[in-house]
Amino acid sequence: MLNKFLTAAKMGEPVYISDVSAAFDSLDNSKKETVHLCLQLLEGDEQRDFIIHLPKLNIIDDEILDFVKSYFHAQVYNILSISVAEK
């Protein structure tokens, strides 16, 4: 699955974060890690909880690791962006 995304990106084809997210979310629990992100908003003592799924990486390949890290950073960025925009 990761190789499919990497191949598409190398060929200059779009790789949408929503497709990657859906693929990671649909992995069997034994094949994914779950990251819990708790965002404490300054106004109103509100806390928002988010879940990001990442594939378990048995073989460390630099390209795959870079792809998963970029995906994670993009997810965090999107969460922060929508949280600020709502205020």
Say if residues 26 and 46 touch (Cβ distance below 8 Å). Answer: no
- Provide the pLDDT for residue 86: 55
Per-residue pLDDT of the chain (87 residues; tens, 9 = 90+): 899 999 999 999 999 999 999 999 999 999 999 999 998 887 777 888 999 999 998 877 899 999 999 999 999 999 988 876 555
Contacts for 73-79: CB closer than 8 Å, 24+ residues apart = 74/17, 75/17, 75/21, 76/37, 76/52, 78/17, 79/37, 79/39, 79/50
- Provide the pLDDT for residue 41: 80
